[in-house]
Amino acid sequence: MITVVISVSSLHKREERRVDEVKEEKRVKKYPNSPLFKNWDAALTEEEQMEAEELFQRYGYNTFLSNRLPLDRELPETRHYRCLEREYPKDLPTISVVLIYLDEALSIIKRAIYSIINRTPAHLLREIILVDDHSSNGDLKEPLNAFVSLIHVTRPGLVKQVRHSSQLGLSQTRISGWKVAGGDVVAILDAHIEVNKGWAEPLLARIKEDHTVVLSPVFDKVSCYDLKLTNYKPSAQGFDWAMWCKYEAFLPQWYARNDETLPGKSPSIMGVLVADRVFFGEIGALDPGMKMYGGENVEFGLRVWSCGGSIEVIPCSKIAHLERAHKPYMPELKYLMQRNALRVAEVWLDDYKHNVNIAWRLPLQNHGIDIGDVSERKKLREKLKCKPFQWYLDNVYTSLKPFNILGYGNLQNDMNTDACVDQGPVPGHTPILYQCHSYTSQACYYHSSGKIYIGEIQSNMDQTNRCLVDPGSGELPQLHECKKAKKTGLNMHWDFKQGSAIQNRETKRCLEVKDIELVMQECSGQNWRITNVVKEF
């Protein structure tokens, strides 16, 4: 018999090496190009990395981490200190909270529910309504039912569930939740949220004062990579001419009051909204003809303001909103967003509806997109005696400026009809001719002022858009931000008629084609055409 004697120190050294090897294994990044691991520094084994990456691609956020965080985790206090000093009436309206989802991670939904139960006074919370827009995720069936049953042990009937038999989209899903609601106020939220302390009272107090005001809390951002919260300051919610929502500054009057806790008027609303339940129905709820995603919140905001209500952001109400890195359940949204935007335009924008076509670079006529039947929505507009869109521009959304575009689309020279004017390499200042395609780099716009924009266009055009200029010397035309071009006195105004020359007003030189290049030279009679004409020019 052979006896092997190993010293204690040798065992310790061997164990330390094993631990070091495990740590080293965890440091190996199997997915070095993954957005998740570029933004989330976690020591995982290869198997854990594979699981985390698969879940990230499936849901668009870090579900691996979400599944391991406490469901009732604490959120940092992000309210202004004055909010903490405010007192609210005891006899506030009751609230029904609607959570809508499609193939959401179960832990995300559970955390949303826990936050609502833990941070909403029990006597104010009428119910939580879960609306499933036909999810295929098995976790959202029996496992979710079991979780709801567990809640009902202490809060019987608190959580209600609605499941669609087919996917209907955001508008119909929100409508389904509202129809089930029984509270005085309905809050329609995404399921990937966590409400913060004191979120409900300032909303309910404001609606108690005025039942025609539709409210939005302030959204703090939850990172899709590490699920950490970033405090967001209050801001208004607007949109561009593509009917896509964006953040805006409040009106100057709000800032002049020097109190960040006061409600601020907002021209529109994001998807999350809080409203008097009866008023929401009286004003027409949401347009059921909007499909899947995009534009439904803009349509609702226009209708609220134009038809007797108003919209405000409530700074003392904070909700943490998880932003996805991508929308895995609907990778191609462009067509639906175009379709819904055109539907909004047809019902609400009056003489300005062509701005939507310009924003999406769609023909004014025969664009080939079926927007559905809008006759009932037009009847609703008449029934509610809604104000014209011009009133909305003059009194509500004064910073939304019409494009005032005369022509838009591809800009082509008769000398080479297979090539289009292109913004060229970015960064860079030299436009080029390039084989025609449908991408943004070849989007050209002729403005009523004589400016020619090339590339992506923004509603506040002189701030960010790029203007074609004649430098006055040399052969090549240039592109510069319009604001900079105006400030430095660059030659940025052009005379152009469809099917004729493009001539700079200051230098009198023409934009022409020479040896398959764009050049500035003495006019030789070359002619240009742009795809779509809004007004004859």
Sketch the domain layout of the chain as residue ranges.
Answer: 8-66, 81-322, 334-395, 405-533
- Paired residues of 146 in beta bridges: none
Q: What is the pLDDT of residue 200?
A: 98
Q: What is the pLDDT of residue 8?
A: 40
Over residues 206-210, the mean pLDDT reads 98
Here the tokens at position 173 are 């899903």
Q: What is the pLDDT of residue 458?
A: 79
**Class of domain 405-533 as given by CATH:** mainly beta
- Cα(357)–Cα(299) distance, integer angstroms: 16
Q: Is domain 81-322 in CATH 3.90.550.10, yes or no? A: yes
Q: What are the distances in angstroms from CA 351 to CA 284, 354, 388?
A: 23, 7, 10
Mean pLDDT score of the chain: 91
Comparison of pLDDT for 196 and 169, the residue scoring more: 196
pLDDT in tens, 383-393: 999 999 999 99
Q: Are residues 107 and 67 in contact, defined by beta-carbon separation less than 8 angstroms?
A: yes
pLDDT at 7 over 50: no
pTM of the model as a whole: 0.87
pLDDT in tens, 36-60: 999 998 889 999 999 999 999 999 9
CA angle at residue 31 from 25 to 35, to 5 degrees?
A: 130
Q: What is the pLDDT of residue 326?
A: 86
Q: What are the distances in angstroms from CA 182 to CA 214, 259, 283?
A: 18, 34, 18
Name the nearest CA neighbour of 389 among 360, 358, 347.
347
pLDDT at 4 over 70: no
Structural element, H or E, at residue 82: helix 81-85
Sign of CA dihedral 253, 258, 262, 263: positive
**Percent of the chain predicted with pLDDT > 90:** 80
Over residues 325-346, the mean pLDDT reads 84
pLDDT at 26 over 70: no
pLDDT in tens, 63-115: 999 999 999 999 999 999 999 999 999 899 999 999 999 999 999 999 999 99
Length of the chain: 537
| CATH code of the domain made up of 334-395 | 1.10.8.460
